[in-house]
Amino acid sequence: MSLLEVRNIDVSYGDVQVIFDLSLKIEEGEVVSIIGGNGSGKSTLLRTISGLMQASAGEISFEGKPIHRSQPEEIVEKGIIHVPEGRRLFSLMTVLDNLIVGAHNSRARGQAAATLEKVYELLPRLKERHNQIAMTLSGGEQQMVAIGRGLMSQPKLLMLDEPSLGLAPILIKSIFETVRQIADQGTTVLLVEQDVRHSLSLSDRGYVLEHGRIAIEGPASQLLDDPHIKTAYLGI
Amino acid sequence: MLYIIEDAINGILMGSIYGLAALGLTLIFGVLKVINFAHGSLLMVSMYVAYWAVTLTGLHPYIALVLVVPVMFIFGYLLQDIVIKPIFKAEKNVREPITVIIVTTGVWYILDNLTLLIFGPQYRNLEANPLRGKMLELGEMLISVPKLWGFGAAVLTTLAIHLFLQRTATGRAIRATSLDREAASLMGINAYKIYNLAFGIGTAIAGVAAVALVPFYNVFPTVGVLFDIKCFIIVVLGGLGSIGGALLGGIIIGLIESVAPQFMAATWTEAIVYGLFLLVLFVKPSGIFGVKHDW
Ligand SMILES: Nc1ncnc2c1ncn2[C@@H]1O[C@H](COP(=O)(O)OP(=O)(O)O)[C@@H](O)[C@H]1O
Ligand SMILES: [Mg+2]
């Protein structure tokens, strides 16, 4: 049994279908990348897994149980955490309050203090800035808060939507290092990215999404050598 | 001169009670992003509950608080859960849920007319209550005692709501939902439960204001309408969704109402209030004290 199984889902915005008959699997402990250009349907896929959108066909199961009819907050309780594109911090709240809200679900709430220590260890910058209002942070710091807030909910599966978006190259490197550390500590990660080289090099497997369909899938090392990916996404 | 100071003090006290009435409205707006046009009617219902509780038991009017606050919390909670929530769900993807506003207007009409039907149009007041007409002598100045207590209730309630929102898990969840409903749901927060709670709390605050008013204010079916307009102006002055702004906005209105008639015909007072309201809308639509909102 895979940790997450997506089987043949279709997803639409009104009349416009953007995901077609898509299937994927994630095993416990894996880091899986989903890569694809702008508008290929990556965010829509994550929004469907986390329950913000409903698939019009197909099934999604987590730990063997169906979740495609569940509400977002029920899916959080089960252990899937979605760190959305564009960070979506609670802008007028402090860093610490953002992190505490991350531990709202019943699995995480009792252990919030201990989890907070771990998050501060991983992202020491957040401890320095804990009293600062989230919207006054730099882009890189905001992304760290978004990831830290996700970790506070004690994810079994952490889904990150373009964590490197809009960051300076040096920060991108440190964000990917953080993701690697999170995975090394045993959290399963589903990473959605346009930065193909970085994301594939820290992943076990990858899927390439084109126009709402899986175009290529395979071990990350193999995808990095794929001629189509080299020309279309790596510019070699 | 002394008269003006006396009027100013009584105006500040009365204004703080307006602010208390507006606090629930601003809280509900801050979370649901909807102007609750039934707010004045909920205040009116609270006043009737307080009036009858005191009349039937003969207890001190302020003891009605222990009944009115929980009753109004439950009333507001259920009103949102049963009447308003289904509209929200139907308009899930609409940015400005205008239908919700129409529904709150419907609730206003129903509550006011139901009250008229049951209790009739007459004005009622707690005639023989220990606070009625009671004055505190400050030198040559007379300060209304029930208004002074109302001021205390307004300050304490504002402080309590502020601390609740800042310091408790539920308060943080309410703030998070208010700032980004979708992101909050990704943290496991059920927005509809938060809406119920916010509506319940906002209505319970109207209950506190009602208990403060009943010892010296007439109770009648359309009393809410007077407060509706004031509350709306106060909330815009103070900043939509601003907790401290409601109290300060209320005090400004109370001051204008009490001091301005010393200098001009009373009808001008309202012109000043509305003028200020328009000025704020034009110059600083986020309100005198509001950021986008301060929590
Ligand atoms: N709210 C929306 N309403 C209608 N169409 C949308 C909406 N959001 C995204 N789309 C469309 O769905 C497609 C996939 O978008 P998205 O999942 O955001 O792609 P990606 O995350 O890969 O950039 C795009 O064609 C986009 O225009
Ligand atoms: Mg996207």
The answer to whether residue B292 is domain-embedded is no
- The residues, any chain, with a CB within 8 Å of residue A27's CB and separated by 6 or more, are A2, A3, A188
DSSP A193: E
- For chain A, domains (ranges, CATH) are 1-79+155-236 (3.40.50.300), 84-152 (no CATH)
CA of A41, closest atom in ligand 1? 17
Measured between CB atoms, does A230 come within 8 Å of chain B?
no
Compare CB distances from B188 to A76, A84, A91 and report the shortest one's residue. A76
Q: Report the nearest-CA residue for atom 26 of ligand 1.
A: A39
Residue B121 sits in a domain whose CATH number is: 1.10.3470
Is A81 at the interface with chain B, CB within 8 A?
A: yes
- Distance separating alpha carbons of residues B221 and B45, to the nearest angstrom: 8
Range of the domain at B81: 2-283
In terms of CA atoms, which chain B residue is nearest residue A88? B183
Q: Is residue B25 part of a domain?
A: yes
Residue B20 lies in a domain: yes
> Is there a contact between B185 and A52 if contact means CB atoms under 8 Å apart?
yes
Q: Evaluate whether residue B185 is within a structural domain.
A: yes
Q: Which of B185, B186, B240 best probes binding to A when mutated, by most A CB atoms within 10 angstroms?
A: B186
Query: From residue B97, how far is each of A13, A23, B33, B175, B203 by CA, in Å?
Result: 20, 36, 9, 20, 20
- The answer to the question of residue B102 being in a domain is yes
In B, minimum Cα distance to A83 occurs at B186
**Tens digit of each residue's pLDDT (9 = 90 or more) over A71-111:** 999 999 999 999 999 999 999 999 999 999 999 999 999 99
> How wide is the angle at C-alpha B199 spanned by C-alphas B196 and B204, nearest 5°?
125
Coil, strand or helix: which one is A19? strand
**Secondary structure, 3-state, chain B:** CHHHHHHHHHHHHHHHHHHHHHHHHHHHHHHHCCCCCCHHHHHHHHHHHHHHHHHHHCCCHHHHHHHHHHHHHHHHHHHHHHHHHHHHHHCCCCCCCHHHHHHHHHHHHHHHHHHHHHHCCCCECCCCCCCCCCEEEECCEEEEHHHHHHHHHHHHHHHHHHHHHHHCHHHHHHHHHHHCHHHHHHCCCCHHHHHHHHHHHHHHHHHHHHHHHCCCCCECCCHHHHHHHHHHHHHHHHCCCCHHHHHHHHHHHHHHHHHHHHCCCHHHHHHHHHHHHHHHHHHCCCCCCCCCCCC
Identify whether B253 is part of a domain.
Answer: yes
Closest ligand relative to A34 C-alpha: 1
Q: Whose CA is nearest to atom 13 of ligand 1?
A: A39
Mutation choice for B interface testing from A12, A90, A99, A145 by most B CBs within 10 A: A90
Structural element, H or E, at residue A49: helix A42-49
- Taking alpha carbons only, the member of B82, B44, B67 closest to residue B199 is B82
B91, part of any domain: yes
Per-residue pLDDT of chain B (295 residues; tens, 9 = 90+): 788 999 999 999 999 999 999 999 999 999 999 899 999 999 999 999 999 999 999 999 999 999 999 999 999 999 999 999 999 888 877 666 788 889 999 999 999 999 999 999 999 999 888 888 899 998 889 999 999 999 999 999 999 999 999 999 999 999 999 999 999 999 999 999 999 999 999 999 999 999 999 999 999 999 999 999 999 999 999 998 899 999 999 999 999 999 988 888 878 888 888 888 899 888 888 888 766 544 5
**Shortest CA distance from A105: residue in chain B:** B188
Split into its structural domains, chain B has a count of 1
Encode pLDDT of A164-183 as tens digits. 999 999 999 999 999 999 99
Asked whether residue B172 is domain-assigned, the answer is yes
Q: Is the CB of A3 under 6 A from ligand 1?
A: no
